[in-house]
Amino acid sequence: MADHAEIEIIGFSYGSCGPFPCNEQRSCDLQACSPSENLVKAVDALKDRLMAEYPGQITLKFTLLDDGVPEYVKKIVEEHQPPLPIVLVNGRVTPVGRISVPLIKKEIDAVLN
């Protein structure tokens, strides 16, 4: 159990926030970025939401791959072949593969509880 969780989202600025189209149901549980499906807007909305729900307990880092892929990301891709966007919680690759508040909260809660 930890008292802090570091979330890192990895992807391209022009990328989509997930594999599913943005619709009225918004299974991602975000409204601020809808209906853009833009990763940058989705990460901003996610950050605002998580900072409000976990005050002082999380940090969120956004790593863009537009100008190159850092070595640690290359290693993650070689070992796990995760879908974009990649979601890390405390450096661990998660099975999320999209910007989704319920799925990311589940990963955060597993770390914090």
pLDDT of residue 27: 83
Phi-psi region of 67 (alpha: psi -120 to 50; beta: other; left: phi over 0): alpha
pLDDT of residue 24: 72
pLDDT of residue 20: 82
pLDDT by residue, tens only, the chain of 113 residues: 789 999 999 999 999 999 888 877 768 999 889 889 999 999 999 999 999 999 999 999 999 999 999 999 999 999 999 999 999 999 999 999 999 999 999 999 999 98
Residue-range domains of the chain with CATH: 5-112 (3.40.30.30)
pLDDT of residue 96: 92
Please provide residue 77's backbone torsions phi and psi, each rounded to the nearest 5 degrees: -65, -45
- Asked if 100 contacts 89 with a C-beta cutoff of 8 angstroms, the reply is no
For the entire predicted model, the pTM comes to 0.94
Relative to beta strand 86-89, strand 92-93 is: antiparallel
Q: Which residues pair with 8 in a beta bridge?
A: 61, 88
